[in-house]
Structure 1
Amino acid sequence: MRINLTSVYVDDQEKALRFYTDMLGFVKKTDVPTGEHRWLTVVSPEAPDGVELLLEPDAHPAAKAFKEALAGDGIPLTQFAVDDVAAEHDRLRGLGVLFTQEPVDMGPVATAVFDDTCGNLIQIAQYK
């Protein structure tokens, strides 16, 4: 068994695609119409056959409530690994990404948290 796909709930798939590709550097892998929405995934360019991230519409009321509760409490929805938190923070900030937590060194890990513009907080982490 392995993890093949995970999701983030987004309020606008096209806006999410622009953010996750143009700002974060992911690459679109799958884009299939499914009626009102799309089966829209992105992957890391470093692992194009790796885990896919589904940019899933938050159309279900439970998804919206879940996102709002997490963001309201400052809790990231998910985490992405980076080689250097400080460098990635600086790169993303330079692109206009809003951080809710500046880089913090916590011993074996350093983290920072940003707003993905689609209703989620995302944590980046560098494992030392």
Structure 2
Amino acid sequence: MKVTLISIPVRDQEKALKFYTEKLGFLIKKDAPLEGGNRWITLVSPEWQDGPELLLEPAPNHFEPCKVFQDALFEAGIPWTQFDVEDVEAEYQRMIGLDVEFSVKPTEMGTVKFAVFNDTCGNNIQLVQTL
């Protein structure tokens, strides 16, 4: 058994697509139209193009419990998911240069360094570096 797809809820798929590709550097794997003006959009890491796909899921627009859960996590400052990086400080500096907003600056805790940013689509995302 292996993970092949993980979804992240977004309120605006086009805005999310732009943010995740232009600011985070993900690549489009699939982009297919669905009913109701939605799309099946998956992204992959340029470093692991055969790895798990990230689905930009429009569920908060159609399923109220998803929206409530997403809002609660965001307001509590809890990340929806995490992305591993080689160097949190370097990614932080690169992303600050692209006007990405961070709620937690690079911080060391035990064997990791992490930072948390706002993906502009309703989610906090954590960057993690193993020290």
- Which one-letter code corresponds to 2:123 in the other structure? N
Aligned to 1:63: 66
Aligned to 1:32: 32
**When the two structures are superposed, what TM-score results if normalisation uses the length of structure 1?**
0.98
Q: After TM superposition, which residue ranges in structure 1, 4 or more long, deviate above 2 angstroms? A: none
User: Where does structure 1 lack aligned partners over 5 or more consecutive residues?
Assistant: none
Aligned to 2:130: 127
Aligned to 1:4: 4
Q: Percent identity?
A: 54
Query: What is the aligned-residue RMSD (CA, Å)?
Result: 0.6
Q: CA deviation at 1:107?
A: 2.2
User: Where does structure 2 lack aligned partners over 5 or more consecutive residues?
Assistant: none
Alpha-carbon distance in 2 for matches of 1:47, 1:86: 21
**When the two structures are superposed, what TM-score results if normalisation uses the length of structure 2?**
0.96
- Which one-letter code corresponds to 1:34 in the other structure? L
2:111 is aligned with 1:108: yes
User: Match for 1:74 among 65, 73, 77?
Assistant: 77
- Which one-letter code corresponds to 1:18 in the other structure? K
Per-residue deviation, residues 79-103 of structure 1 (Å, max 9, x unmatched): 0000000110000001000000001
- Which one-letter code corresponds to 1:103 in the other structure? P
Alpha-carbon distance in 2 for matches of 1:12, 1:62: 17
Aligned length: 128
Alpha-carbon distance in 2 for matches of 1:63, 1:19: 21
Aligned to 1:14: 14
